[in-house]
Amino acid sequence: MRRTLIPLILAGFASLLPGLAAADRDDDGRYRDDGRDASVQLGPRPFFLVNDMKDSPLKRQLQACTRRSASSFVRTDFSIGHRGAAMQFPEHTRESYEAAARMGAGIVECDVTFTKDKELVCRHAQNDLHTTTNILATDLAAKCTQPFTPAVFDGNGNFVSPARAECRTSDITLAEFKTLRGKMDASDPRARTVAEYLGGTANWRTDLYSGPSSGTLLSHKESIALFKQLGVKMTPELKSPAVAMPFNGFTQEAYAQKMIDEYKQANVPSRRVYAQSFSKDDVLYWVRNEPQFGRQAVFLDDANTVADLPTFAELAGYKAQGINIVAPPIFALLTTDGSGNILPSRYAMDAKAAGLGIITWTLERSGILADGNNGFYYQTFDSAISREGDMLRVLDVLARQVGILGIFSDWPATVTFYANCTGQK
């Protein structure tokens, strides 16, 4: 199914899930859905991408938009902050979340896992502290599941085996977790020392915002309070535990329920929360036990290739079970005709035909596009990508032809700019 106007996407989704398009306010009246109370700061990147595009009607439309007053750009739910603004800010930190909101993301993500004392915190994985924080450089390194071991080289200096470490949130308490600082997610497999191991940041990212006074880690409850203050909606992802469940009596169901309970305790309306999981069991738990939250819970697809994607019958089965939104990776939704044109995929058409809303991930997470090897996210249409400005072509097909509801981005300003320029507020 093709949609040519983004406002129609909103109208269709509003009919799918009644009430989502209505103005949302909590008891103290601070919530606004239109974003006009937010200060949106796009910065130079969207304009760089427009200038880098080949000439086309889309480029001319977006060029005209670059002449708009900066104050006319508003926040949009089409723009979802993936771990905040993770292209340049340490993911799942206060600073990353604040940057995403300033860039106009209407929805911001906290990936949720738990500590040794079963408190919920924002981390992409339960076992990523060794690459996303400074834990190995602190006394807490002694508590890691696998302490740091250096890379091994033979007597001739040839690389034999990589450096290793594994530090889990479940290795430490919430109080201990809060003493850590976030950093860019990276490590150097050839490291001989902890300091070397904590490096390895990709050259298209930066460590400028990873200093000792930044990288503030947050509990899940603290993220809720911050997102309320920022006026953004929330999309928590319940992460698969790295430990066997139950964990000290903490069952998977209790884990899924606790995440929802923390929104209820904070008086966050269910319509402002898009609970996510790669586990269908988690999503169906919310559908059955927390139907107000479950009606817009998001089933994330962990497909690595086209062969892993569900069939139309499977997608229709999701809908029959009460799942309303699916979220596959970008490659699942797009293909190419072999002549450089990007088109909706069979999966995209099947999901729409099954009556499912679609969110996708993740824009601006693949580095430099012009190098011709763009990896996972672009695998089904990489031959159609040749320059940085093509990112906006990708976004345009996803919005106008696939009809996605929103897209996760590591740099939300790009999506905010596009959405404002093409009619979505």
Q: What is the pLDDT of residue 17?
A: 45
Q: What is the pLDDT of residue 38?
A: 60
Question: Is 186 part of any domain?
Answer: no
Question: Is 29 part of any domain?
Answer: yes
46 Cβ contact partners less than 8 Å away, ≥ 6 residues apart: 413, 414, 416, 417, 418
Give the pair of three-digit tokens for residue 52: 């880098």
Q: What is the pLDDT of residue 186?
A: 98
Q: What is the pLDDT of residue 25?
A: 43
Asked if 173 and 143 touch (Cβ cutoff 8 Å), the reply is: no
Q: What is the mean pLDDT of residues 327-354?
A: 97
Q: What is the pLDDT of residue 367?
A: 87
Q: What is the pLDDT of residue 374?
A: 80
Q: What is the pLDDT of residue 35?
A: 43
Dihedral sign of CA atoms 200, 206, 208, 213 in order? negative
- pLDDT per position as a tens digit, 177-211: 999 999 999 999 999 999 999 999 999 999 999 98
- pLDDT per position as a tens digit, 136-180: 999 999 999 999 999 999 999 999 999 999 999 999 999 999 999
Asked if 95 and 215 touch (Cβ cutoff 8 Å), the reply is: yes
Q: In the predicted model, is pLDDT for residue 13 greater than 50?
A: no
Question: Is 312 part of any domain?
Answer: yes
Question: Is 167 part of any domain?
Answer: no
What mean pLDDT value characterizes the chain?
92
The pTM assigned to this predicted structure is: 0.92
Asked if 98 and 34 touch (Cβ cutoff 8 Å), the reply is: no
Structural domains in the chain (count): 1
Question: Is 164 part of any domain?
Answer: no
Range of the domain at 17: 6-126+207-421
Between 289 and 8, the more confident residue is: 289
DSSP sequence for 229-297: HHT-EEEEEEPPPSS-SSBTTB-HHHHHHHHHHHHHHTT--GGGB--EES-HHHHHHHHHH-HHHHTT-
Question: Is 168 part of any domain?
Answer: no
CATH of the domain at 67: 3.20.20.190
Between 396 and 34, the more confident residue is: 396
Q: What is the pLDDT of residue 16?
A: 44
Question: Is 188 part of any domain?
Answer: no
Q: What is the pLDDT of residue 22?
A: 37
> What is the rounded distance in angstroms from the CA atom of residue 2 to the CA atom of residue 343?
10
What is the 8-class DSSP label of residue 197? H
Question: Is 176 part of any domain?
Answer: no
